[in-house]
Amino acid sequence: MKEIKLIGISGSLRSASFNTAVLTAVLRNLPSGVSAGIADISPLPFYNEELDDADQPEAVLALREKILLADGIVFCSPEYNGGVPGVLKNAIDWLSRPMHGSVFRGKHALIISASPSAVGGARMQAQLRCDLSACELRVLARPQVVVGQAHMKMIDGVFSDDKTLAFAAKAVADLVMEIRIYQAGLAALGMGVPNAASDRLHAR
Ligand SMILES: Cc1cc2nc3c(=O)[nH]c(=O)nc-3n(C[C@H](O)[C@H](O)[C@H](O)COP(=O)(O)O)c2cc1C
């Protein structure tokens, strides 16, 4: 069976981020036939349509290429003031263009949120789901992986809550299954994964 490639994106730039720690722990525990890496969104400039031309910034090209080569994306983000942190929304805006031909097309996504609060960033999840669906990403319907009181589940900077990790592993397995079903369906129809961005990126 073809290897499935996942890319993790953290919505926090903090070096001691709980969300990056959760993402790292989740992507360390993958089903067989699945590989993963974490993309760094910190070098991205603020989105400016004038920069999004033939001469796109190197950080943008590098991130777009990573997503293009992936089958699925695992987002793990804090909630800022009840919503999606600006740095994550900025990355999504870069990845969403060009409309109907972005690297997001045909990709699947899983949303995780973590917070020291008891509700674990759940309000952010609703917004992020809406943002990602607008970019033609296929967001896994369930389960919602919400990590409350994340600060109490860390040991020496490593996210270490076995119960949460087992739950998240099931969500990743569901994501991989969705990807495999989607790709098998396209193959049965004699179609490839639709992505108009590939020519543009690979031509550089
Ligand atoms: C600007 C800002 C807004 C925040 N708003 C929320 C919020 O709405 N809900 C919440 O649960 N935590 C909120 N927090 C607290 C974050 O959950 C906490 O700082 C968390 O550790 C950030 O995630 P990280 O550890 O991955 O960086 C906020 C923090 C900041 C800096």
Q: Decide whether any atom of ligand 1 lies within 6 Å of the 112 Cβ.
A: no
Measured CA to CA in angstroms, residue 145 lies from 43, 90, 110, 194, 195 at distances of: 27, 23, 9, 28, 28
Q: What is the mean pLDDT of residues 166-185?
A: 97
pLDDT in tens, 120-170: 999 999 999 999 999 999 999 999 999 999 999 999 999 999 999 999 999
In this prediction, residue 200 has a pLDDT band, given cuts at 50, 70 and 90, of low
Tell me, what's the pLDDT at 96? 97
Within the chain, residue ranges assigned H as helices are 18-28, 58-69, 86-95, 122-134, 162-188, 197-202
Structurally, the chain folds into a number of domains equal to: 1
Q: Decide whether any atom of ligand 1 lies within 6 Å of the 167 Cβ.
A: no
Q: Decide whether any atom of ligand 1 lies within 6 Å of the 198 Cβ.
A: no
**pLDDT higher than threshold 90 for residue 195:** no
Nearest Cα residue to atom 28 of ligand 1: 80
Among 18, 23, 80, 113, the mutation site with the greatest number of ligand 1 atoms within 8 A of its Cβ is: 80
Q: What is the mean pLDDT of residues 4-24?
A: 98
Closest to 19 measured CA to CA, from 179, 170, 145: 145
**pLDDT higher than threshold 80 for residue 198:** no
Tell me, what's the pLDDT at 50? 95
**pLDDT higher than threshold 90 for residue 202:** no
**pLDDT higher than threshold 80 for residue 193:** no
Q: Read off φ and ψ for residue 155, nearest 5 degrees.
A: -130, 120
Q: Decide whether any atom of ligand 1 lies within 6 Å of the 77 Cβ.
A: no
Domain containing 54: what range? 4-202
Q: How many angstroms separate the alpha carbon of residue 114 from the centre of ligand 1?
A: 9
Tell me, what's the pLDDT at 163? 98
Q: How many angstroms separate the alpha carbon of residue 195 from the centre of ligand 1?
A: 34
**pLDDT higher than threshold 50 for residue 203:** no
Encoding tokens for residue 46? 């603020």
Tell me, what's the pLDDT at 83? 98
Q: How many angstroms separate the alpha carbon of residue 80 from the centre of ligand 1?
A: 5
pLDDT in tens, 94-124: 999 999 899 999 999 999 999 999 999 999 9
**Three-class SS state of 74:** strand
pLDDT in tens, 23-69: 999 999 999 999 999 999 999 999 999 999 989 999 999 999 999 99
Give the C-alpha separation, 92 to 128, whole Å.
10
Q: Decide whether any atom of ligand 1 lies within 6 Å of the 120 Cβ.
A: no
CATH number, domain at 108?
3.40.50.360
